[in-house]
Structure 1
Amino acid sequence: MKQAPLAIRLGRNDLRLIGRDQLLISMFVFALLLSLALRYGLPWLNEYLSQHGVMPGELVDRPLYSYYPPILAHMILYNGAALVGTVFGFLLLGEKDDRTWCAMLVTPVSSLSYLGYRVAATSAFGFLIVAGMLVVTHQGRLGLWQLPVLAVGAALTAPIVALFITVTAENKVQGFAVAKFVSLAGGIIVLGWFVAEPWQWLFGLFPPFLVSKAYWMAWNGATDWWAAVCLAIVMQGIMTMWLSHRITRII
C-alpha cells in the first residue's frame, strides 16, 4: 500500500495530540470568544466612556475609537498568531520530552523536512485563526481584500513563537514561562503606537511590529501599507530560518 505523504501523516498525529489536550483546545475557543468580545465590546465601551465623559474627558482628550488600531493589532495580529504558535510550541516540547526527535533520526524523515512541515502547518493555522479574527472583528475601515494580506504577514509570527518556545524551554513547565514572556513582548506593539515617526520604525527590529504597522497604515488609508507587510514577511522569514537552524543543532 502506498504510504501517505509526510504532511498528512504528521498532520493526523498533530490533530490527535491537540484533541487529547483540553488546554490546547481551550486556546482556540478563547480566540473565538476574544474576537466576539472585541467586535461587540469595543463599540459598547467606546459609547459608554464617551457618554460618561471619560474618553474624551479631562484626562484623555480622545475617544476610545481612536485607539482601536493598537488594540486590535495587538489582540488579533499578534496575540492571535502567538496563540497558535504557543499551541504548536507545546506540541514540539511534548515531542522533545518524549524523545521523539531522537527516534526520528533513524527514520527516512530528515530534520529539515520535519521542521519545514512544522513551520508550514503552524503558519497555515496561524493564517486561519488571524483571518477569522479579523473578519469577526472587522470595523469597516479596511477593505475585505486587505484582511487576508495582513493575515499572511501575521501568520508568520506563529512559527516564530513555536520555535522560540522550543529553543528556549526544556520542558512544558518552562514553556509556560516562555509563553508568558512572549505575551508580554506584545506590549512592544502598543508602545510603538505612541512613538512618532520616523522613530516608530525602529520598533520594526521586533518583526511582528511591522505587521501591526501595516494595519495602522491601512486603517488610516495609506496606499503603501503593503510595503510594511512585505518587510514583515522578509524579516520574519529570516528569523524563522535562524530559529530552525538552532533547533537542528539540538535534535
Structure 2
Amino acid sequence: KYAILEDDYPSLNYAIQSRGFAFELIGVHKGNLEEHILKVIKNSKPDVLSLSIVQYISGLKIDLAFIKQLKQDNPNLIIIGDATQYLGTEPFDFIASGFDAVAGSGYKWLMAGFGNGYMMLSGELHSMLYTAARQRPGPKEPMLADKPIVDLYFEPGHQDTLSHGTLSQSVHFYKELNMNNIKEYLNELKDYAYQIFDERGWLLPVVKGSATKSLLINLQVPRETYPLLVEKGVRCFPRGSGIRIGLHLYNDKSDVDRLVTVLDQAL
C-alpha cells in the first residue's frame, strides 16, 4: 500500500493509481503536512511513502529532518522522493537523508538541459528490486554479462551521452561553486523575497505557515496578470490559484524588485 500526497506531480501519483495499487491520499492544503503524514503512517501503515520534496504547484517543501526521523522510527517504510524541484538549491546527503530512493529531472534546478535525469537507491531498496529476475539466467553477451540486474532494467537501450555529459558538467559546475555557498546565497535571496511577498499578502497560507520554505513560490495574484508578466520578461507560469515563479542562482534582489514593481502597477 502507498501513501501519496494530494495534487503531487502526475508522474508520481498516476504511476501508482494507474497500476491499481492501493493508496491513501494525504492532504497538503490545510497545513501541518508532516503531522498529516505521521497520522497516515500510524493509522494506515502503508508500505511506501511517495512524495515530491517540493510540491510543484504550491512550492510547499517537506521538512527533510522530519523525513530522516520518520525513517528512523519506521525502518521498514520505503520512502521515495522526487527532487526535481529541489536538488541544486542546497547540500543534500542521500545516504543520511532517510530516503530509500530519490529521483528527478536535470533540467530544473540543476540547469542541465533536457533529456537527462538521475536516481539514487539505498542498498536496502536495491536488493528488493527484481528479486525474481535475479534467480533467472542473465544475458551472456559480453557487453551485458557483467551488468547488475538493476542496471539491465533501468538502462535497457541506447543512452544519450550528450545529455548525460551535460548533467555531468552541471554537477562539476555546482561543485566549483560549492553547495554551501549556493545555499547561503539562495537563502538570503529567498528571505528577501518572502518578506516582500508576505507584506503584500501574496503567499499561500500553507506555505506561509510552514517552517521550511522553497525557492518555488506560488504568488497569490490574479492569473490574468500572467500575459503582462511575460510581456515584461518575467519567467513564470499559472499554477493552481496563482502564478508560480522560481528563484535561482541567476537571480538577485533586483529581479525580485522588478517583479514586485510590475505586479504593484498591475494590481
TM-score normalized with structure 2 length: 0.26
TM-score normalized with structure 1 length: 0.28
Question: Greater share of strand residues, 1 or 2?
Answer: 2
Which protein has the larger Cα radius of gyration, Structure 1 or Structure 2?
Answer: 2
